[in-house]
Amino acid sequence: MLTAGPAWTATADSPQTPAPLLDGADEVLVLTHQCDLAFVEACLRPARAAGARVTVLYDATADRPEPAVTATGAVRDVLPVPVVCRSGGAFRARVVISASPTAAVVSIGSGDATPDGWLRNTEAWTHLRADGASVPTFITDLADWLRRLPGQLWIEAVGAERLAAVADLLTARPHAAEHDEPMLLTNDVVPIVEQLPFPSGADRLSIAAPEFDPAGRALGEIARSVRAARTRLLLPAGVRCDPVGLLVALDDAGEFDVQTPVSPRYLHAGAIEWWTGGAGVLVGGGLTCTPEALLSTSAEPGGNCELGLLLEVTESLLDAVEARDIGLDDDDLRPLPPAVTTAGPRVLAVRRHADRMEAALVAAGATAPDGLVVTVGEAAVKLPWTGAEGRLHTYSGEGPSLDGRNAQVRAADGTALGNAPVTDVAGAVTRFSHASPLETLPLPAVLPDAALVEALFAAVAQLAEGRTPRHGVPAAERRASEEERLRAAVGPALLDLAFGRAAIRAGDDTDDDSVAATVAGLDAPQRDRLRQLVLRLGGAAAGWPLPARLAAFRIVLVLAAGGLWPEPQDWTPLVAAGLDALVATDDEAFAGEQAALATVGLAAVHHGHRLAPLSGFADLRAAVRLDQAPPEDLVARYTEGLAGPVLGEAFGAEDVAADAGDLLVRSAFDDAVDAIPESIGTVQRTDGGGVLVGTGKDPRRTTLLVLDLLRDFPDTHVTVRGTAGTETHGWWNGRRLILLSPFGGRWRGSLWPGLMTGIATYAKGASPLPAAARTWITEVPEMGEG
């Protein structure tokens, strides 16, 4: 059954589609003239998270916001398909399709997939839903047009494949025509004006359009065909037209009104409406009142590729717009600027594959460059020419896989050709099997809902399922394969959290959108439940592969910084345990992320240790061993947002790097301490650079043993505690030995100034120490009179 209804878009404050999307859609297809890819990705993230493949086809020649290069990598949530019309005209179809095997929602309107078109402007849309056992003629006509569309465009093979996939899904059910269906208008075979069922005479005609041709040819054709008693033009401020041409066309139309909307929102409707008595007909789809849109086919030179919708209405869409009268000499009417044609090649897209990069451009055969140089940031790849189909040229080559939303493309001779989005095709068309809640919600919004938290932690656990083979596979290639596999399971948002590509506002309790503010707003049962879930996550993470441990530890660290455990004696051991699990094993493919997050984690634990001393901190510090300095940019990203009451207001990237520089310096002394046999006892480092040993043996003799093992590090302060509460302190510099032992609530020091043969024989018990040369009593166990 087909249901339809035209409507104006509502104002929205956040990125969202102007069209209702089908729940459980397998495919979402957006056709648009202009496109802001980053904006569209944000709008369609919920559909992507729900499992839909998302394709966005747009005019590569249209002026549009250039997507910024960001740390989140290549375009992944959507598959961008830039196209060029073979006719040399503009691609101006604007439609949003969401479909499954059992239903489809199709929205045809006037708004481009940009913040203006989907949020700020006043746009006209008609939403149609087709569900049930069969599909109406409107849907089959749309599917047929999608299959014909590649013949009108210069389009890459992947784009044609995606159009065919959506068309096949739309027609997965049998066809059955319905009464009073809307009529799909396309201009690939017949001009749109020749398809309109004009009356022999109408009471009134209304046209709302953002553009008219200078001579008013299209307006004159419509006015003569409808022969309305009164014609109304509804023109937005700054309408592109020639007032003289409009006046000539309207002189043949009889009575007319020229109006402009009262609302400051830009009216970009592109609609034609006529009424005879109580019967109305609406033509929607954002059509401009120009010959390229209405009087030409897309096969004629300069003809646009258009898609519109004709339906009968019982209420006027255009009459609902509050407007005021203006004259044709009004300043709001702007002369139409001369058409500007851009010569030279037009780059479409850069595609990333596991083993190669590909690019496509449209150019006249003789003008296509022999090769391209594609650059993102400081990285560049040379792509030789590999073939052509008509004016569509392809380039492919091996080299590093470039990440970035926008690549600069030059010809091999250095000529700048423009920018193009970088796309991982395999990632964009993969359907997520266990998408995390972070695909649609920020972490702070997930925390109050126990079910969402469990879903998030279940997605983290999915990162531990299955592994890419490590043997014989280069780290870079394995990383790419592993990321692709994990993204297919949980979506990119959780990977961005794990790999430091997503910033999280955590510690600032004055920010209403931070983790700290969310935690502060939880009631006692919610806090207890969240703590239990986090403890369970931390306990499970110890045996997981590194990507899952990165995600788990970052969540623990962020929640600690957000104040889930307010006291340092509560959160420091938890973060320390998570850090210990993080560094338990290595993985070369993700070594940079492990080193960076471990650095930040150790700085956090060190901060808590200073507030509430942590038993075993020296061992943890020793366990975090880095073969090389972690990437500074990753350290900065993992650190961002953690500063606040828990970790301190100065917990920033520079402070973390400085702290970690002191904590992570690995020396020969560290190796010597690690080499002390376990049979001697438990060995820990102290903050002062000494060694603390717990033993069940004689403390005095054990002190001599440890001092002898550390003889290459003179005057190391060694403290040995026995099981009976006895304690001995010692210092040895190769000749002079000092020992301190408890004596009547204080300490008795003993000095041997010239043990020329060393202390090895005394440490092994082969002979007793001689009498001390000097003794004294002191209040504290320091080197003292030594």
Tokens of 239: 């309408």
Could you tell me the pLDDT band of residue 364, with boundaries at 50, 70 and 90? confident
Q: Is the pLDDT reported for residue 457 higher than 90?
A: yes
Summarize the confidence of residues 470-489 as an average pLDDT. 78
Give pLDDT, residue 69: 39
Give pLDDT, residue 366: 64
Give pLDDT, residue 252: 73
Could you tell me the pLDDT band of residue 211, with boundaries at 50, 70 and 90? very high
In this structure, how many other beta carbons lie within 10 angstroms of the beta carbon of residue 466?
11
Give pLDDT, residue 379: 83
pLDDT mean across residues, the chain: 88
Helix, strand, or coil here: 305?
strand
Summarize the confidence of residues 616-621 as an average pLDDT. 79
Give pLDDT, residue 12: 67
Q: Are 715 and 731 in contact (CB under 8 A)?
A: yes
Q: Are 558 and 504 in contact (CB under 8 A)?
A: yes
Give pLDDT, residue 70: 41
Please state, in angstroms and rounded to a whole number, the distance separating the CA atoms of residues 267 and 601: 53
Q: Is the pLDDT reported for residue 431 higher than 80?
A: no
Please state, in angstroms and rounded to a whole number, the distance separating the CA atoms of residues 522 and 564: 10
Q: Are 93 and 58 in contact (CB under 8 A)?
A: no
Summarize the confidence of residues 60-78 as an average pLDDT. 63
Q: Is the pLDDT reported for residue 405 higher than 50?
A: yes
Summarize the confidence of residues 771-786 as an average pLDDT. 84
Which amino acid is residue 339, in one-letter code? Answer: A
DSSP per residue over 153-214, as a string? EE--HHHHHHHHHHHHHHTSSPB---TT--EEEE-SSS-GGGGS---SSEEEEEEE-SBB-T
Tokens of 158: 């992947």
Q: Is the pLDDT reported for residue 433 higher than 90?
A: no
> What are the tens digits of pLDDT across the range 313-361?
999 999 999 999 998 877 777 776 666 556 678 899 999 876 788 999 9
> What are the tens digits of pLDDT across the range 138-174?
999 999 999 999 999 999 999 999 999 999 999 999 9
Summarize the confidence of residues 6-21 as an average pLDDT. 78
Helix (H) or strand (E) run with residue 596 in it = helix 591-611
Q: Which has the higher per-residue pLDDT, 86 or 668?
A: 86
DSSP per residue over 606-619, as a string? HHHHHHS--TTHHH
Query: Which phi-psi region, left, alpha or beta, contains residue 515 (left: φ > 0; alpha: ψ -120 to 50)?
Result: alpha
Summarize the confidence of residues 99-111 as an average pLDDT. 95
Please state, in angstroms and rounded to a whole number, the distance separating the CA atoms of residues 19 and 42: 14
Give pLDDT, residue 470: 63
Give pLDDT, residue 1: 57
Q: Are 221 and 245 in contact (CB under 8 A)?
A: no
Q: Is the pLDDT reported for residue 472 higher than 70?
A: no
Give pLDDT, residue 541: 86
Give pLDDT, residue 71: 38
Give pLDDT, residue 68: 43
> What are the tens digits of pLDDT across the range 651-680?
888 888 877 766 766 677 877 887 899 889
CA 329 → CA 137, 223, 701, distances in Å?
45, 21, 106
Q: Are 729 and 706 in contact (CB under 8 A)?
A: no
> What are the tens digits of pLDDT across the range 15-39?
788 888 988 899 999 999 999 998 9
Summarize the confidence of residues 476-484 as an average pLDDT. 80
> What are the tens digits of pLDDT across the range 555-605?
999 999 999 998 999 999 999 999 999 988 878 888 899 989 999 999 998
Round the CA-based radius of gyration of the chain to a whole number and report it.
36
Has this prediction a pTM greater than 0.75? no
- Residue reference for tokens 């993700």: 590
Q: Is the pLDDT reported for residue 745 higher than 50?
A: yes
Could you tell me the pLDDT band of residue 492, with boundaries at 50, 70 and 90? confident
Helix (H) or strand (E) run with residue 477 in it = helix 475-490
Q: Report the range of poorest mean pLDDT among 273-287, 334-348, 352-366, 538-552.
A: 334-348
Summarize the confidence of residues 768-780 as an average pLDDT. 90
Helix, strand, or coil here: 560?
helix
How much of the chain, in percent, has pLDDT values that exceed 90?
Answer: 55
